[in-house]
Amino acid sequence: MQAVVLAAGEGQRLRPFTANKPKVMIKVANKPILEYVIESLRDVGIMDIVIVVGYKRSRIMDYFGNGSRWNVKIKYAVQHQQLGTAHALKQAEQYVNDEEFLVLAGDNIVDSRTIKKVNRPWTLAYKEAEEPSKYGVVITSNGRVERIIEKPEEPVSNLVNTGIYCFTSDIFKMIGDQTDLVSVINSMIEEGYDFSCVKAEVWVDIVYPWDIIKVNDFAMRFSGKRVAGKIEQANIIGDVSIDRNTVVRGNTYIRGPVIIGENCEIGPNTVIMPSTSIGDNVKIGAFSYIENSVIGDNVIISPGSFIKDSVIDRGCIIKPNFTALSDSAEIKIGDEYHRVKTGVFIGEGCNIGANVVAEAGTVIGNNVRISSLKTVRGIIPDNSVIV
């Protein structure tokens, strides 16, 4: 069986993290979200994969190539304009050789058990959700889909559409000129097609910046230690993965689950608390504290910094005594307002001076420069300079 993975979208609600890369390339537990999808497909024996790319597609194609690193075969279809999921699927038609095939999104983590369940044509997977209004809600009866309602204002069901389907090649005829896949499915149901549904075992989605922290925590559910670097009298407790050429300096305390990439330098006298992932080529200075956070590649965090419930994208340089506060905050995403308990979100390539305090819920764009001794809050646009 083949699989078509839809990975052409941008993810505007995840800015600043999608300004320079597609949503599927956001890393959690030091791997792009799309990598988890490919690994789950491989684990159930699906080796022939078509990825529909569009926005910043070179980031995907350069990373995954032909798929040989994962022992799969990857072909790419290009959606030049992001017109919708049905339009994206239509771009893959020439690459689909099997009568039956799977379709799934590249921006959700899904497990192999769920993929195994979606094993016959005209089946979709659903999941119970606490906030169903963010998704398409599935109305079911006796294991059959009656309708899918996109982002309903009123809570009509807590079952959401995961975007995992099994189709036959007939779907391409049914799409026609339509751009939205849910609309196509609803039309097919009205015409008499029988869609069944199964419950997803594992399916987690990233919609907003604070979801990165939640999904990072979920993705780190591994067991055991793996230490390939050098440890200098550090105290390491629980599930901790430390990659090659990384040095953990003396009197550092690490409590897992924690993942630390290659060529990093941690400490001395630093505390790394659970659900923290640290990318490659990262330096974390002495007497720093990091908890429940995602630190991208090539980041420098200078001594005396405090970071909690936060995301720092690649290439940032943070001077001494930086504080990322965590608390309940109201964050505006587009036209939406959200009250969440969270920390701070920092885009790529930022340079933050000494003794800067970022209040909870602060969103700092890409390539922002902040002078020392500042307190920042709210949304700071890309390329801003705060002096």
Of the pLDDT bands very low, low, confident and very high (cuts 50, 70, 90), residue 128 is: confident
- Using the predicted structure, report yes or no on whether residue 280 has a pLDDT greater than 80: yes
Q: What is the pLDDT of residue 270?
A: 97
* Rounded Cα distance, 152 and 157, in Å: 9
Q: What is the pLDDT of residue 133?
A: 73
* Rounded Cα distance, 24 and 34, in Å: 5
Segment 246-262 mean pLDDT = 95
Q: What is the pLDDT of residue 269?
A: 96
**pLDDT, tens digit, for every residue of 67-89?**
999 999 999 999 998 888 999 99
User: Residue 249's closest CA among 286, 212, 208?
Assistant: 286
Query: Which pTM value belongs to this model?
Result: 0.92
Q: What percent of the chain has pLDDT over 70?
A: 99
Range 302-309, long-range pairs (CB < 8 A, 24+ positions):
302/354, 307/343, 307/344, 308/343, 309/210, 309/213, 309/341, 309/342, 309/343
Q: What is the pLDDT of residue 143?
A: 80
Q: What percent of the chain has pLDDT over 90?
A: 71
Q: What domains appear along the chain, each with residue ranges and CATH number? A: 2-207 (3.90.550.10), 226-386 (2.160.10.10)
Encode 107-133: b = buried (16+ Cβ within 10 Å), e = exposed.
bbbbbbebbebbeebbbbbbbebeebe
Q: What is the pLDDT of residue 229?
A: 83
* Rounded Cα distance, 32 and 275, in Å: 16
The structure tokens 């910094």 sit at: 305
Residue 335: burial class (beta carbons within 10 Å; 0-12, 13-18, 19+): exposed
Segment 37-42 mean pLDDT = 94
- Using the predicted structure, report yes or no on whether residue 43 has a pLDDT greater than 90: yes
* Rounded Cα distance, 81 and 84, in Å: 9
- What are 208's strand-pairing partners? none
Q: What is the DSSP string of 258-295?
A: EEE-SS-EE-SS-EE-SSEEE-SS-EE-TT-EEES-EE
**pLDDT, tens digit, for every residue of 143-174?**
888 888 887 777 678 888 899 999 999 899 88
- Write the CA distances from 85 to 78, 116, 183, 261, 374, integer angstroms: 13, 22, 10, 34, 43
Segment 174-185 mean pLDDT = 89
Q: What is the pLDDT of residue 76?
A: 96
* Rounded Cα distance, 278 and 206, in Å: 19
- Using the predicted structure, report yes or no on whether residue 26 has a pLDDT greater than 80: yes
**pLDDT, tens digit, for every residue of 328-380?**
999 988 888 889 999 999 999 999 999 999 999 999 999 999 999 999 999 99
Q: What is the pLDDT of residue 134?
A: 73
* Rounded Cα distance, 373 and 307, in Å: 17
User: Residue 313's closest CA among 212, 215, 211, 385?
Assistant: 212
